Chain A
């Protein structure tokens, strides 16, 4: 019992540190990749190749003044960054990172908690993610925050339905709710569920980008009209928390996407203990795709965004699911 508690606590801390480091270096990667795509150099002064830039940013953030505007609703204002940050980390509780392996004679599972309803857990946490944004927008006492918060939350709930439907398609084929079993079923590249759910994958990808408020769906942060969107009035590390939350969400949907459609940690050549490398490579490709999109596409208009979500994605997701069901049962 005690051993289990110590072991899983250590695992949680390792994963959390990895995720937070991942978030920090996702910002670096984003700036570098976008810079190269635009024939710039990107961050290059802090450390070799600018590799210490995220650390410098974090220290800078911490030393900034935490300005709390006069008109805010104080308690809700303080709660909003926490409500945005915490759910973004919870998804990692059920994502299988690697195969089970033995470390100094001890059996280690490659997932923090092997919940047999892992997908539902992901879904539940995703549905809670909207509160940070609504509360931040509402409590800031600023026009831009309110507009950004409401737009953003309407966007998130609109795309959440298609997001859920695209996941249900995979459940239908896999016949399990456990993420671990999902990965085990996709043992070779031909068994990846992307081949069985190509439309489902495209739907997932689109909705995931909209859910994480990334370009081309980053309406909440439309600088030209909303200044900073729902976190306009936040500063210092509380602003950074929204930022980290956004990147953690990006990594989370990449992890879930990898698990659902690309076989998670499955891959040739590597022993079980190193299978996490395949997982990281696949997630990295997802992240690169995200950044590539940012460098390529202009931002949608809000009416285009909402119409696209409700009139294209939603009916498409329903049809995809019914057709999948018909094929599975045939």
Chain B
């Protein structure tokens, strides 16, 4: 068990180490100056107008919720793909019922314009 997972563990640690070295490098090497309005958010040279705390439109929330649901659909299709041959047509019919149920939801969303962008 450890033989299989050790390389992944080491890879994670190595990647994090690399990331920290990179993030640290410019802090150590790069010069630092603090002049005037350098700390302002980027705005093409003029003073920033308005707030950066615009609320996110509801449709992004709907996208996120649709993503969860259809992602779970993918997650349930995965085990079916693994055992599809063992289950045969019975498995196909049951997954077909499942997919149909979820796709009814998808078409409902389409019909109500929840996935519409313009």
Contacts and interface: CB of A to CB of B under 8 A. Distances in A.
- Direct contact between the two chains A and B in their complex (CB within 8 A): yes
Interface of A: 4-5, 8-9, 11-13, 16, 20, 61-71, 78, 81-82, 85-86, 89-90, 92-93, 112-115, 120, 127, 140-146, 150, 154, 157-158, 160-161, 164-165, 168-169, 171-172, 175, 177, 227-228, 232-233, 236-238, 240-241, 244, 302-303, 306-307, 310-311, 314-315, 318, 321-322, 325-326, 328-329
Interface residues of B, number: 66
Contacts, number: 201
Interface of A is mostly: helix
A161 B67 contact: yes
Interface of B is mostly: helix
A81 B19 contact: yes
Given A69-B41, A171-B78, A62 B11 contact: no
Interface of B: 3-8, 10-12, 14-16, 18-20, 22-23, 25-27, 29-33, 38-42, 44, 48, 50, 52, 54, 56, 60, 63-64, 66-67, 70-71, 73-74, 77-78, 80-82, 84-85, 88-89, 91-92, 95-96, 99, 103, 106, 110, 115-118
Contacts of A70: 39-40
29 contacts: A9-B10, A11-B7, A12-B10, A62-B25, A63-B31, A64-B26, A65-B32, A66-B27, A66-B32, A86-B16, A90-B8, A93-B7, A112-B7, A112-B11, A113-B7, A114-B4, A120-B78, A141-B41, A142-B42, A142-B48, A143-B48, A154-B63, A228-B42, A236-B30, A238-B26, A306-B117, A328-B84, A329-B85, A329-B88
